[in-house]
Amino acid sequence: MVAARAKIRLFVEQPLGQGQEIALSQAQTHYLANVMRQREGAEIALFNSRDGEWLARLTRVGRRDALAECVVQSAPQRMPPDLWLLFGPIKKTRTDFIVEKAAELGAARILLVQTDYTNAERIRQDRLQAHATEAAEQCGGTYVPEVAALAPLAKVLDQWPEERALIWGDETLAEGAPSAVPPLPPAPAAILIGPEGGFSPAERARLTALTMIYPVALGPRILRADTAAVAALTLWQAAQGDWR
Amino acid sequence: MVAARAKIRLFVEQPLGQGQEIALSQAQTHYLANVMRQREGAEIALFNSRDGEWLARLTRVGRRDALAECVVQSAPQRMPPDLWLLFGPIKKTRTDFIVEKAAELGAARILLVQTDYTNAERIRQDRLQAHATEAAEQCGGTYVPEVAALAPLAKVLDQWPEERALIWGDETLAEGAPSAVPPLPPAPAAILIGPEGGFSPAERARLTALTMIYPVALGPRILRADTAAVAALTLWQAAQGDWR
């Protein structure tokens, strides 16, 4: 799909504002100079999850560092709705994919949960965070969701905020007579997608006992975890999020 | 997510019915014997897009061929709603992904279209068809969508069936004020997702002139083509398809 406005969009940590000079990282400098062949004077877009999107002009493109000066705000800050995505890490490519899609689809926070049936995959949190950042840069958003460190599901549920609805993609509901997707609760909300193998009986009991739990079936076929994550995020955004 | 019923599900071309003996392909034999280590007497599930799912018993597992005998129908035939997915091929991994997801999400037919801005990727139709088959085997469905050969969009539109609604993921609608997803039309319907770079002005004019065209925005961010395909399939299935 077409990229809106500036072709090159970069996420930075620093505050953005009129005349602000921003030092770009070594990786960003490499991308600008060697991949995109940008020179001094070129215009790029910057955002930092707080100050909207800024049109910035490159004032220095060195071998290892580059500087950009903010010219004018080109889009207001748009925060995603207060929706979290929780999922058990699966194979590397599909985990990457879920993180990318969650950022594109406007999740505010991404939490990887260790469940009883999660295969002990190694999680590179920094790499997943980089995927979320790149997806936000690509999709024209002004916000990068945080990718939280892998935590046991039981611990996450122990500390579950009472007011946050938990939408549970319950794969056992797909068997037998298919049921319609029920009305989804408004923000603050979270979506929980199980790993391959589903949830253990203990986990199912624990989830069922939560006050704010919303089990949903996603159609009559069994969806892979990555498909289920994208489908649930889509349905929530269309029903209660910023696609309305 | 959990696989329902039999763990091993295979798509075959032959008719299925009580006592029917089915010759499995060399690839299926390799998968059964060497990957899944199944022996004579083991139970598998077979489906052929017509006769539902059958529990079958392996009666011969040779080095290059295997035989299975149908025992009893284990699930009725379930046809997907009459929904097509049309998309311009993108990078290999993402094209594979779209085909897999379309099969999982219950598209009846997958059409690859060559648009003005489609990069001239080589399409291996047989490989994509195999992806669709594998996804159907995994998701517990009894139907494999056909992956049609790459065809120019203009030609597809020339022959467009008058009664089939065309839902057009129009990325330009994401810019500016975000608009809600409008009510989606019932079957027969199709979803059209553009390639990176969107549609050309000529294509846009052609699409806009169609009687049964339904342009939809998928939220305020610009979605990649693969995300847009999954999101649009999800919204249609929940609104008009078999997720109701």
Predicted pLDDT of residue B1: 38
Which pLDDT tens digit goes with each residue over B41-59?
999 999 999 999 999 999 9
Report the gap between the CA of A197 and the closest CA in chain B (Å): 5
DSSP A106: T
Predicted pLDDT of residue B120: 65
Name the residue among A168, A155, A152, A49 with its Cα closest to residue A109: A49
Residue positions counted in chain A: 244
Q: What is the mean pLDDT of residues B174-200?
A: 83
Q: What is the mean pLDDT of residues B99-123?
A: 91
Predicted pLDDT of residue B175: 58
Distant-in-sequence, close-in-space partners of B177: CB < 8 Å, separation ≥ 6 = none
d(CA B128, CA A140): 30
All domains of chain B in start order, with CATH: 9-75 (2.40.240.20), 83-240 (3.40.1280.10)
Give start and end residues of each alpha helix (H) in A150-242: 153-158, 201-209, 225-240
d(CA B32, CA B38): 5
Which pLDDT tens digit goes with each residue over A130-168?
999 999 999 999 999 999 999 999 999 999 999 999 999
Predicted pLDDT of residue B4: 41
**Residue A60 CB coordination number (10 Å):** 14
d(CA B56, CA B9): 10
d(CA B116, CA B223): 20
- Please spell the DSSP secondary structure of A44-78, one letter per residue: EEEE-SSS-EEEEEEEEE-SS-EEEEEEEEEE---
Predicted pLDDT of residue A174: 62
Q: What is the mean pLDDT of residues B119-147?
A: 91
Predicted pLDDT of residue A1: 38
d(CA A46, CA B239): 38
CB A167 within 8 A of CB A214: yes
CB B190 within 8 A of CB B82: no
Cis peptide before A220 (omega within 30 of 0): no
Predicted pLDDT of residue B207: 94
- Tokens matching residue B9: 């599900």
- Cα dist from A23 to A28, A126, A140, A244, whole Å: 10, 21, 21, 37
- Mean pLDDT (chain A) is 91
Q: Nearest Cβ partner of A105 from B196, B227, B242?
A: B227
d(CA B242, CA B159): 27
Residues of B in contact with A216 (CB under 8 A): none
* Per-residue pLDDT band at A4 (split at 50, 70, 90): very low
User: Which residue, chain included where needed, has tokens 């052609």?
Assistant: B206
Q: What is the mean pLDDT of residues B172-188?
A: 76
Predicted pLDDT of residue A195: 84
Q: Nearest Cβ partner of A234 from B171, B224, B234?
A: B234
Is residue A151 helix, strand or coil?
strand
B223 and A139 in contact by Cβ < 8 A?
yes
- Mean pLDDT (chain B) is 91
- Tokens matching residue B218: 């998928």
Report the gap between the CA of B62 and the closest CA in chain A (Å): 31
Distant-in-sequence, close-in-space partners of B22: CB < 8 Å, separation ≥ 6 = B12, B14, B16, B46, B56, B67, B68, B69, B70
Q: Nearest Cβ partner of B231 from A140, A220, A234?
A: A234
Which pLDDT tens digit goes with each residue over B85-100?
999 988 888 999 999 9
Q: What is the mean pLDDT of residues A201-229?
A: 92
- Tokens matching residue B174: 């994401």
Nearest residue on chain A to B222, alpha-carbon basis: A139
Q: What is the mean pLDDT of residues B118-130?
A: 85
Report the gap between the CA of B169 and the closest CA in chain A (Å): 9
Asked whether the predicted pLDDT for residue A3 surpasses 50, the reply is no
Residues of A in contact with B218 (CB under 8 A): 234, 243
* Per-residue pLDDT band at A123 (split at 50, 70, 90): confident
DSSP B176: S
